[in-house]
C-alpha cells in the first residue's frame, strides 16, 4: 500500500510517497520552506503544491507540530496562533483534493521508528525526541503510543525546554556541540526523572550529526540512539497513519 506523507515543521514542509509496508520512500522527498507567517491558508497552499508535484490522488497523511485530536489542531507553539482550534483535516483535505489524516509530528516520527527504525522490537518504555525548530516527543510503553505528549514544553530554569535545547536554539546562539549537549542532557535528565525510559531515540535533522553530540550526553541511565530513519521519520509515520487506527485520539477527517 502506498500513501503520500507530508511532514509540517516550523521551518520546512517535507513530502514524499511511501510504501507503508516497508517504510521506504518511493521518490526523492521534496521540501518547501514553511511560510512566514505560518497561517493556515499559506500552509495549506504548500500542501496543495506538494500533492500536485507528485501527481498524487491517493491517501495523504500529514503531521503537525502541536497537539492534534480528531483532526483538530489544539496548540501551535511554533506556527501561527490561528491554528488553535482549526479543523486541519478538513483544511488539508480540501487542499489535497482527497481525504487526509493528521497527527502530531513527533508521534508520526515515533510510530515510524518503532516500526521500521531504532525502536523496532523494543517492549519497554521508549521516548522519541525530535530536535528542530522546537522539541517534539513521542512516548511508547509496550509498543503503544501515548499521543500528544509535547514534552518540549516542560519548564526548565523557568523556560520551555525547547527554548534552550532545540536545534534552533543552538543555531540562534551559535553554540558549540559541547555547550548545546549540556542543555540537551539537562532536558533528558528531567525526562528520565519523570518517566524512566529504557530507550531514548533522538531524531530531527540534527540526528545526522549524532556522533558530534550524543557521546557528550552524561548522567542518563537510558540507552540513547539516533533515529534510524533520520529526518524522514515524520514523512513515513504520516503515510503509515493513513491506513492505521493505532494512534488513538488523532484521527483525521477529509
Where along the chain do its domains lie? Answer: 2-105+233-241, 108-231
Q: Which listed CATH number (3.40.50.2300, 3.30.420.40, 3.40.640.10, 3.40.190.290) goes with 2-105+233-241?
A: 3.30.420.40
Share of the chain above pLDDT 70, in %: 96
Q: What are phi and psi of 199, to 5 degrees?
A: -140, 135
Closest CA to 76 of 26, 49, 40: 40
Please give the pLDDT value at position 208: 93
Residue with cell 483534493: 97
Give the 3-state secondary structure of residue 173.
Answer: helix
Give 247 or 226, the one with higher predicted confidence: 226
Distance, CA of 128 to CA of 106 (rounded, Å): 7
Q: Is the pLDDT at 247 greater than 60, yes or no?
A: no
Please give the pLDDT value at position 40: 97
Instruction: Determine the average pLDDT of the residues in 48-52.
Output: 97
Is the backbone peptide bond immediately before 53 cis, with ω within 30 degrees of 0?
A: no
Signed CA dihedral, 207, 212, 215, 219: sign only: negative
Please give the pLDDT value at position 137: 98
Three cell numbers written together for 200: 531514548
Give the 3-state secondary structure of residue 49.
Answer: helix
Question: Is residue 245 very low, low, confident or very high in pLDDT (cuts 50, 70, 90)?
Answer: low
Three cell numbers written together for 100: 487526509
Question: Is residue 117 very low, low, confident or very high in pLDDT (cuts 50, 70, 90)?
Answer: very high
Please give the pLDDT value at position 194: 97
Model pLDDT for residues 62-96, shown as the tens digit of each residue: 999 999 999 999 999 899 999 999 999 999 999 99
pTM of the model: 0.93
Q: Is the pLDDT at 254 greater than 60, yes or no?
A: no
Domains 2-105+233-241 and 108-231 share a fold: yes
Give 130 or 245, the one with higher predicted confidence: 130
Question: Is residue 251 very low, low, confident or very high in pLDDT (cuts 50, 70, 90)?
Answer: very low
Three cell numbers written together for 147: 499521543
* Spatial contact of 33 and 50, defined as CB atoms under 8 Å apart: no
Q: For residue 219, what is the DSSP state?
A: S
186-192, long-range: CB < 8 A, 24+ apart: 186/156, 187/135, 187/154, 187/156, 187/161, 188/129, 188/217, 188/220, 188/222, 188/224, 189/219, 189/220, 190/154, 190/156, 190/161, 191/127, 191/129, 191/137, 191/151, 191/154, 192/220, 192/221, 192/222
CATH class of 108-231: alpha beta
- Lowest mean pLDDT across 14-18, 27-31, 133-137, 247-251: 247-251
Average pLDDT, the chain: 94
Question: Is residue 243 very low, low, confident or very high in pLDDT (cuts 50, 70, 90)?
Answer: confident
Three cell numbers written together for 85: 482550534
Distance, CA of 3 to CA of 224 (rounded, Å): 30
Amino acid at each position: 500500500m502506498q500513501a503520500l506523507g507530508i511532514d509540517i515543521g516550523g521551518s520546512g514542509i517535507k513530502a514524499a510517497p511511501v510504501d507503508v509496508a516497508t517504510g521506504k520512500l518511493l521518490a526523492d522527498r521534496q521540501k518547501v520552506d514553511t511560510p512566514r507567517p505560518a497561517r493556515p491558508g499559506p500552509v495549506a497552499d504548500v500542501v496543495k503544491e506538494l500533492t500536485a508535484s507528485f501527481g498524487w490522488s491517493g491517501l495523504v497523511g500529514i503531521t503537525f507540530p502541536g497537539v492534534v485530536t480528531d483532526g483538530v489542531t489544539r496548540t501551535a507553539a511554533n506556527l501561527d496562533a490561528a491554528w488553535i482550534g482549526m479543523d486541519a483535516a478538513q483544511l488539508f483535505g480540501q487542499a489535497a483534493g482527497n481525504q487526509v489524516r493528521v497527527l502530531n509530528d513527533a508521534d508520526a516520527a515515533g510510530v515510524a521508528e518503532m516500526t521500521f527504525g531504532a525502536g523496532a522490537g523494543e517492549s519497554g518504555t521508549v521516548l522519541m525526541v525530535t530536535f528542530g525548530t522546537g522539541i517534539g516527543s513521542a512516548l511508547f510503553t509496550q509498543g503503544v503510543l501515548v499521543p500528544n505528549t509535547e514534552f518540549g514544553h516542560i519548564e526548565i530554569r523557568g523556560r520551555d525546554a525547547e527554548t534552550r535545547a532545540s536545534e534552533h536554539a543552538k543555531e540562534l546562539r551559535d553554540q558549540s556541540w559541547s555547550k548545546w549537549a549540556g542543555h540537551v542532557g539537562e532536558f533528558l535528565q528531567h525526562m528520565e526523572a519523570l518517566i524512566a525510559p529504557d530507550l531514548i531515540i533522538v531524531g530531527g535533522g540534527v540526528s545526522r550529526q549524532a556522533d558530534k553530540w550524543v557521546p557528550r550526553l552524561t548522567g542518563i541511565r537510558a540507552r540513547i540512539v539516533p533515529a534510524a530513519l533520520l529526518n524522514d521519520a515524520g514523512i513515513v509515520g504520516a503515510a503509515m497513519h493513513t491506513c492505521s487506527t493505532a494512534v488513538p485520539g488523532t484521527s483525521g477527517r477529509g
